[in-house]
A and B are shown apart, each in its own frame.
Chain A
Amino acid sequence: MSRVLVVDNDVAVINLLVLDLDLEGHEVLATALDGDEAVRLCDDLRPEVLVIDLRLGPGLDGLEVAGQVRKPGLRIVLHTNYVNREVLQRARSLDVVVVEKGNLNALRRAVASDA
């Protein structure tokens, strides 16, 4: 079980992840709709897993948030529709796992892959 922070600018996606991760046995600490709030909540709540969308509207995007909050003990999962080489390179340089939206099994694995 992991302590998870979920960030997405689409409420429907947040609802889904909150429900599913909870049922998967994780603790969803909080949710955020934008990057700035995600950074703040990361500092405050110290989650073990950050599930974050790439595109978050105005402000920081998911990988920029990852660049700011990354630290040992925090796994970051980029949950996005936009997977391309550039995104994968940026993600790899930040030790961020990329999961394509719609693949719920992959997301569950990424969140649960706790040593």
Chain B
Amino acid sequence: MATASNRRDRLIATSAAVVVVVLAASVVVTVLTAERNGRKALEDLQLAQMQQLGRVLDGALGPALTSKVGLTNPLTRQPWTLAPNDASDAAALNALQSSQPTARTGYVLVDASGVVVNGTLLQPGAIGSRVDRPGLSGVLAGNAAVLPTSDKSLTTPLPTIAIARPIRANGDGPVVGALLQESDVAADSQFTKLLAGFRRANTDEYSFLDVNGIVVASTNPTTVGHEAAPILLDPTAGFHRHGGDVTAIVDLPTIGWTAGYRQTTSEFEGNLTGPLRSALVLLTIAALIGGLLTFFALLSRLRAARREQARLAAINDAREEFISIVSHELRTPATGQLGFLQTLLDHWEDLDDNRRRETVRQAYANARRLHALSRDVLDTASVEAGELPYAFEVVDLRAAAQSAIDAIPNPDHELAIDGVDALPVRADPERIQQVLANLLDNAMKNSPSGTRIDVVLDVSGDDARVRVSDRGAGLTEDELGRVFEKFSRGRYTTVTGTGLGLYICRMIIDAHGGRIWAETRDGGGMTVTFTLARVSDAADGDGTDTDEVPLAGTATP
């Protein structure tokens, strides 16, 4: 029963905690979704940025391929002579050269067979040599192109790219030669310097690759002129993730290049995931704590409720048991009393005087028992309501004990009193009588007829001490501990009673500031001892009492 409700309590508390955890999980999912969406937005943004960059570059270099500038001698506005070392051609090339913002772009004229005829910044011996660069034949076939990066440069020992445009006779005639603008590809090239401004973080890297995947310019100068890192050579444009890195690849269709961006994933997402992750961790911790608190709070609430329920049920059980016990216990002496009287009446003539007297005595004993029991019941109610009145005066315990013994008519036991002759205490004489009567009654009920019951009075320090011992079966340690509890009853077969007698004794002795306890008697049986504060002999004697007297008490006989 108890375990079933415990299990139910735990189930309820666990369910509540589960609800909290589920809510927390949904928050976590929401945060993770937000993170995913945020990441996607970030990727799109980065890609868009790269596309913008690509368009700008494509837009800047593209027109250079279709430009007419330089396809005729800009100074004479005549066609290039394309004669080796022609002075007017050289002057015009120098003019083009000087119009460039950088001195690192050289202008070279080749004839229709690809042989160098003139140029600026030329390496020694270049004039007359055949240009050995992939892609030039296409240009000489009539198509302008950006030639891939090559070490076979005419203008510099560094690798260069070259914008090469065909020169046609009369502007649209057959190809008679080509104009090459060679720009070096180097860590300190103009282009590379331009790119350097793009960097915003520690690990981001912007690069331009030519058709062969050679880095033309990069924010990472060490890569310039070399083949690009594999992750930048991803053939498809778009946003990619490669382990710890992200890349954004954009094609520049006009010039055939690729713009590539790379960054470590953690840095790329740092600004996004950092706060989200913190929020997530905090939310998760809060949810777990909330769940645990909910679990334990509910559990303790439910357990307290169960305890209260059990307590009330126990009180109710005790009350019902009390009613059952009391009604039975009151009925037994009432029945006995009536029975003896009826027997007496029905058989009056059959009985001699002695037997009549004995029958009356039996009826009287039952009436006495009924009286004592009803008083116990009523006193219990009064004691618990705090309404039992006490009238203190000086009482001699020896006389009180003798009186209690004398009050038992024809006892079945041998009742012996021993110890000091006079033992004055301050007490309510009626209540002390009740205590002694209950202790004697208890002793008689717990021991066989004919056995001896000892009442011993002595002094222990400042205390007067009374011991009532029987020679019955005694009690176990456990029973001894509970003997003063309400409704505690002995196990001796013939023991009957309400279980109130010793309880009332304890309440009365407590109210007197004394102590009462039960222990096993040496040699078997039980001893109940109580102590009360002793009154010095000097204070004793006048018999009058000036103490508080809530209700008038009667003096001990």
Contacts and interface: CB of A to CB of B under 8 A. Distances in A.
A16 B336 contact: yes
Given A33-B493, A34-B493, A13 B332 contact: yes
A57 interface: yes
Interface stretch (A4-12, A43-51, A70-78, A87-95): A4-12
B340 A19 contact: yes
A10 to B, nearest CB: 6
A5 B68 CA distance: 144
Interface in A1-49: 9-13, 15-16, 19-20, 23, 33-34
B537 interface: no
A16 B493 contact: no
A104 B339 contact: yes
Contact of A58 (B346, B359, B369, B491): B491
Given A19-B362, A58-B491, A102-B338, A12 B369 contact: yes
Given A9-B493, A9-B494, A33-B493, A101 B332 contact: yes
Contact of B336 (A13, A23, A59): A13
B332 A12 contact: yes
B547 interface: no
A56 interface: yes
A15 B336 CA distance: 9
B331 A19 contact: no
A12 B366 CA distance: 8
B343 interface: yes
Interface residues of A, number: 21
Contacts of B340: 16, 19
Interface residues of B, number: 29
Contact of A16 (B328, B362, B494, B496): B362
Given A23-B350, A56-B493, A16 B343 contact: yes
Contact of A9 (B335, B449, B496): B496
Interface string B347-384: 10011000000010010011001000000000000000
Contacts of B334: 102
A13 B362 CA distance: 10
A12 B333 contact: yes
A82 B327 CA distance: 11
Contact of A10 (B332, B342, B491): B332
Nearest to A100: B335
B29 interface: no
Given A15-B362, A81-B331, A102-B334, A10 B339 contact: no
Query: In the complex, which of the residues A11, A12, A23, A33 has the most CB atoms of chain B within 10 Å of its own CB atom?
Result: A12
A102 B327 CA distance: 13
26 contacts: A9-B493, A10-B332, A10-B336, A10-B494, A10-B496, A11-B494, A12-B336, A12-B366, A15-B362, A16-B336, A19-B340, A20-B343, A23-B347, A23-B351, A57-B492, A57-B493, A58-B493, A59-B493, A81-B332, A101-B332, A101-B335, A102-B338, A102-B339, A104-B339, A104-B342, A104-B343
A62 B313 CA distance: 30
